[in-house]
Chains A and B, each alone.
Chain A
Amino acid sequence: MIRTRVIIKYLGYILLFNALFLSISAMISFANDEDSVSALLFSALLTAALGAFPQIFVEKTEEISFHEGLTISVMGWIITCIVGMIPYYIWGGEFSLANALFESVSGYTTTGASILSDVEALPKGLLFWRSSTTFIGGVGIILFVLLILPEKKGVQASFYRSEVSDLSKMNFRARSRYIIRMIATVYFTLIVMETILLKLLGMTFFDAICHSFSTVATAGFSTKNLSIAAYDNIWIELVVMFFMLISSMHFGLVYGTMTNQKTNIFTSRPARMYMVVTFIGIILITFQLAQEKVYGLGESLRYASFQVISLVSTTGLATVDTAKWPLFSIILLLYYSIQCGMVGSTAGGIKFDRIYLFFASVKKQLKSIIHPEGMYVVKMDKKIIDYRLELQVMIFIIAYLITMMTTTLLLTTMGIDATTSLSASIATIGNVGPGFGDVSSLGNYGQLPNAAKYILSVNMLLGRLEIMNVFALFLLLCRKD
């Protein structure tokens, strides 16, 4: 049985957590004497009031069920996205209702797609709020709330089960309580390290922290209209590239590497394969860009590296407009936008591990056809993959592709061209951000019809919640018993 009051209580915690960041943004706005201070302050007060309300009535909970955890997880994301749009909508400017919702969902889901044509026109308070949404969304608001809450172990374990996918649990070898701390340690360490490095390389502290949030959360929001290209600094690009790549790898492996454990990035086969596949993409695109004289060899390597890592990690920061690249490079980049980073990271998309598992399953099937009497299993890092998990992965990939194609079709019915429709669909469900056509790396989603923005907002949420969780909750709520 799902206890509504318990769900409302935890949704309240989520709202209170958002209110904290809204208050910080309001303070930044106040310190800079900006006109966004009232919008942010009011949003903070409203969110805090709504969040505190259930805490007055609902008693502390010893345990929550898996179904309750799932409901809180999905509803938490939806409510967070709605609350996140309030300061944008009140402030106005380019933010209509559809635009505010799109920007909010894009931030929390770490997609990084924007409707803004002039990011630099935003007050600093709102820019910080925009970056905060990516920071909160990076490891997931539920995990953040669990870090702060003095709740019982049973509650944490239940949330952990509903929030973290089965595949990503494989590389975590600890109890859920410690895993949450492990994820947080990696997340905060990476953010602090990147902020320091970017500051040392000449960014302002504000820009450095906003870009660190954006990079480690693999979101892609920048404080500049030209994204990272605005700095035209190869060292900044290298630092951002490194952190984008690291953040798109399993945090358990990153933690293992940081603490010099046996299971780390270099010993994990999927992680090594992921780096090799990324490297192959960089080489192929560099070769084509240089051969077709789009840029010189050095520049081709520089831009190809950044864009491939940016898209594969689902960050979406840009140093160049990829829409002008040759077709082969665009198709390769589209592939990386579908494949994306590894499970257990802040990246979105199908995830490399699933693609890896898919090919391993295909290999197993082929062997079974050749030797029908044989017994074959799929292995990943020397661990036998359970048949149910294998099936789960296959269903996820199919559901992902069906959702992607449905969105593309819906967008084309609105008069949007095929390239823009397909790439916008890929970029939003994969939480990548930039696509091609009208929504390329230096473009924005502002010119799309409002209906398209709503559809893409749902797409981003579906992508972030890994589709099946949303459908599972839908079925759960439709159950008659």
Chain B
Amino acid sequence: MIKSLKIKIVLSLSLLILMLMAAGVMSILDFRKIGNSVDTVLKNNYQSIESAKKMLDAVEREDSGILLWLIGNKDSGIETVLGSDSIIRKAIVDIEENITETNEAQYVRAIMDEYEQYYSSVMTILESGHNTEESKLIYYSGTDSLFLKTKEAINRLMVLNQDQMYRQAGIVKEQSRRAMMPAIVSIAAAIIFALLLYFFIGTYFIRPVRQLINSIKEYYPEKGRLSTGIVSKDEFKELEEEINQLVYRLRRTKNSI
């Protein structure tokens, strides 16, 4: 049993500090997790979605390029096709370097396959020379559907990353809830601590003082020893004992005089 009032106070405050520190550390760790998760969303998914968008845009421009070529605007058409092709290939490299999701590699491979087929079909048209009718036939019989398939493959990759981004957003939401929880629980616990402390201060600090005051007020020498009714074995009990010793010494001095 702890007898010193000082140790009692220090220990009770240490417990409160320990609890608040634990809540703080846990919140910090959870907020760090949120930071990492946001970073993950940006790195893993948002970059892939941006690259896929670029690719989609470039594929559409490439298709516009071939249409320009078909309506007779040959130079501008070739320029658009080649420019778009380099953008698409760069975007594919970017995505390949940022494969983070399960099956994402397969999706990228599918895009590459579809695009290679589409690109070779485009090149067949461009290499077919100036026969516009024959080129139109090639375009409508194969190139057009390959263009749509390539777009579809890119869209699939985009959906994969978007879904993952939504899932990650859900996780971030849950993590932010978890980060708040220790604070909420700690507030509730701190209130309980405060109430308990109030009760213990009343019982072990204020009551003994009152008991001492009342006992001293009602004390007269014929009564013998001063009895306060203090049950704890701390400094208050010691004080009661010291008062009794003092009374004893005073009585002895008085008698000797």
Interfacial residues, chain A to chain B (CB-CB below 8 A): 4-5, 8, 38-39, 41-42, 45-46, 49-50, 52-54, 56-57, 59-60, 86, 89-93
Contact = CB atoms under 8 A, between A and B. Distances in A.
Given A49-B18, A53-B12, A54-B200, 15 more contacts: A5-B200, A8-B196, A38-B29, A38-B178, A42-B22, A42-B23, A46-B22, A46-B186, A49-B15, A49-B16, A53-B193, A60-B1, A89-B185, A90-B178, A92-B181
Contacts of B186: 46
Nearest to B193: A53
Contacts of A4: 199
A426 to B, nearest CB: 34
B196 A54 contact: yes
B2 interface: yes
Contacts of B30: 38
Contact of A91 (B15, B178, B204): B178
Interface of B: 1-2, 8, 11-12, 15-16, 18-19, 22-23, 26, 29-30, 174, 177-178, 181-182, 185-186, 189, 192-193, 196, 199-200, 203-204, 231-233
A56 B181 CA distance: 28
Contacts of A38: 26, 29-30, 178
Contacts of A39: 178, 181
A41 B15 CA distance: 15
A5 to B, nearest CB: 6
B196 A53 contact: yes
Nearest to B197: A53
Nearest to B21: A45
B229 to A, nearest CB: 14
A59 B234 CA distance: 11
Contact of B11 (A41, A45, A56, A90): A56
B199 A8 contact: yes
10 contacts: A5-B200, A38-B178, A39-B178, A46-B19, A49-B15, A53-B12, A53-B15, A56-B2, A86-B185, A90-B178
A89 B185 CA distance: 10
Contacts of B232: 59
Nearest to A86: B185
Of residues A4, A42, A54, A92, which shows the largest number of chain B Cβ atoms within 10 Å of its Cβ? A42
Given A8-B199, A86-B185, A45 B18 contact: yes
A381 B22 CA distance: 56
Contacts of B193: 50, 53
A275 B243 CA distance: 70
B200 A57 contact: yes
A92 B12 contact: no
Nearest to A45: B22
A221 to B, nearest CB: 23
A2 to B, nearest CB: 14
Contact of B15 (A8, A52, A60, A92): A52
Nearest to B233: A59
Contacts of A54: 196, 200
Contact of A45 (B1, B12, B19, B199): B19
A50 B2 contact: no
